Amino acid sequence: MEALALRLSGLDPYVGGAIRVVAFYDTLMRRRVDLSALARASAGLAECVAGVRLHGTGRTVRASPLGTDETGPRRPASTVVPVTLDEEEIGEVWLEREGEAHQLDEVLLDRLALAVAAAVERYGPARTTMADPALVELAVGAATDDVARARALRLLGFAAGPPVHVVAVRTALPLDRVGALVCPAGLVKAAALGADGPGAAGLGALLATAVDPGAFPEGVRAGLATTADDPAGAWRRARTALRFTTPREPVVGHGSLGALALLAEVPERAARADPDVAAVARLAVPGAGGADGEALETLEAYCATASVRRAADRLHLHHSTVSRRLEQLGRALALDLTTPDGLTRARLALTLWRLLDDAP
C-alpha cells in the first residue's frame, strides 16, 4: 500500500494522500481502538480538534492535536460527516479547523466515520437504551462464567473497570423511557426479564453508568445496587431492594437496608407462621383494618417515625386520632406499641409481611 501511495503521489498528490489516510484508519481498525483513541489519532492526523458524537447515548468525545481531551468550548465544525450503522444514522464526526477545510478532510472524516461505526458494532449498540434480554441475562446471570459475562457487558457497551449500576424495576412505563430519565448523560441499557417469582409481575432490568435515584417517575418501583466485581450479586441485591419498596418509598438502594436485608432470607413459610406477621396480615383483609385500610396506613406511619405526633403530621391527622388508632392496633396485634420492644416487633412484622408475595 505504501509503495502504491508513493507511485501515485508522483502522479497526483491528492490520490497519494487519500491512500495514506485510508491505510492509517485501516491500521487503527485492525488494532480495535476505542472512540477516544480514534478521536485522538484523527486530531493528530488533521492537526486540529476532532470530535465524535453518538446520538443514542449523547456521548461526545473531542480530542486536541496534542493527543489530549479537548475541554474548551466547541468551535464551529469546518466539516461534518454522519456515522451510519445498518443504514441508520447513529452519530456524527467532525473537524474544528480554523479557516477553510483542507483537501483531504472529507476523506479523513469518511474513514473516521467507518471506524466509529465498526467500534460501536464491536463494543455494543448505541442508538437505543433497549437491549437484547438474553445479553442482559448473560451479564447478570448467576450461572454465567466470567468470560461470557465480560463479553456480554462489552457488547452492551460497558467498558471494563468502572462499576455498573444495576436496577431492578417494576413499572407500566416503557423501560427505555425510565432509563433515559434516570441516566440522561451516560450509557444505559434496559431489558424486560419476565417474572420474579410466583405471581410476580413483569420485572425489568436497567444497567447504567450512573443512576439518579430522585429521577424515577411516579408509578415506578426500583431497587438499586452497584456491581463492583460481581454483576450477578448486584442483580440479586437489586431484586432484594425492590422487595422492600413501598408506595411511600418506591426507590430503595440495597446499601441503605443494612441488616434489614437479612429479612429477605427468612423462608416464606416461617414468616407466615409467625404470630406477629399473621396479625399484620389480618389487618390487610378488607374490613378488618378499618375504613380504607387506615389501620395499616397508621401502623406504617408510626413505624416509620416512632412518634405519634410525627405520624399524625405524615397522615395529616390530629395526634389524638392517631393515638386512638394505635391503641386499637395494639389490641389487634397483641403488642404494646408505646414500648421499644413492641415497636420493634411491629416494624419487623410489617416488613416481613411486605416481603410476602401476596402483600400489596
| Shared-domain flag, residues 55 and 146 | no
Buried b (16+ CB within 10 A) or exposed e, 337-355: beeeeebebbbbbbbbbbb
pLDDT score, position 57:
63
pLDDT band of residue 184 (cuts 50, 70, 90) is confident
Higher pLDDT, 231 or 87: 231
**Residue 148 shares a structural domain with residue 201:** yes
Check residue 1 and give its pLDDT.
44
What pLDDT shows up at residue 169?
Answer: 95
pLDDT in tens, 75-89: 888 889 999 876 778
pLDDT band for position 290 (cuts 50, 70, 90):
very low
Arithmetic mean of pLDDT, 143-167: 83
How far is Cα of residue 69 from the mean position of the Cα atoms in its chain? 26
The pTM of the full predicted model, rounded to 2 decimals, is 0.61
Averaged over 42-70, what is the pLDDT? 88
Looking at 60, 91, 123, which one is the last position of a domain? 123
**Range scoring the smallest mean pLDDT among 86-100, 110-124, 128-142:** 128-142
Cell of 309: 405526633
Q: Are residues 166 and 237 in the same domain?
A: yes
Q: Residue 286's domain spans which residues?
A: 266-355
Indicate if the pLDDT at residue 326 is higher than 90.
no
CB 216 within 8 A of CB 157: no
Q: In sequence order, what are the residues at sequence separation of 6 or more whose Cβ sits closer than 8 angstroms to the Cβ of residue 230? A: none
**190 shares a domain with 168:** yes
The one-letter amino acid code at 84 reads T
Q: What is the DSSP letter of 87?
A: T
CATH number of the domain encompassing residue 115 = 3.30.450
* Residue pair 76/108 in contact by the 8 Å Cβ criterion: no
Together in a domain, 52 and 165: no
Strands (E), the chain: 49-54, 60-63, 79-85, 88-96, 165-170, 188-195, 202-208, 221-226, 251-253
Q: Domain for residue 128, yes or no?
A: no
Strand 251-253 with 221-226, pairing: parallel
Mean pLDDT of 169-174: 89
Total domains, the chain: 3
- The answer to whether residue 94 is domain-embedded is yes
Reading across the β-sheet that carries 60-63, which strands appear in turn? Answer: 60-63, 49-54, 88-96, 79-85
